[in-house]
Amino acid sequence: MLFMVQMKVNPPSHLTKEEFDDVKVAEKNRALDIQRKGKWPHLWRVTGKYSNVSIFDVESNQELHELLSSLPLFPYMDIEVTPLNEHPSALKD
């Protein structure tokens, strides 16, 4: 089941640069981990912004929330979740 997830990062001013760098390293590892499990098939950078457009493929809302809230950057992000489904005009593979 697919969801579009748009994440905008708001770097926190109360963390030092080093502390925030650590969070970003942990974020990248966690993101790669989830992608390897096939749950995060698409991750694109929005040109000119500290934001991404992602497509998640999960079994339930619950699973999606657990994945998103497990991201180290979760507390520092505005996240919009848009449920998607098959489009009648989409080319079947």
Toward a copy of itself, which CB reaches closer, 18 or 86?
86
Nearest distance from C-beta of residue 22 to a copy of itself, angstroms: 15
Nearest distance from C-beta of residue 26 to a copy of itself, angstroms: 11
What is the Cα–Cα distance from 65 to 73, expressed in whole angstroms? 14
User: Which chain residues interact with a copy of itself by CB under 8 A?
Assistant: 1-5, 11-14, 27-28, 31-32, 35-36, 42-50, 52-53, 55, 60-62, 64-65, 68-69, 75, 79-91
Helix (H, G, I), strand (E, B) or coil at 22: helix
The angle subtended at Cα 30 by Cα 36 and Cα 40, nearest 5°, is 45
Helix (H, G, I), strand (E, B) or coil at 16: coil
Toward a copy of itself, which CB reaches closer, 11 or 22?
11
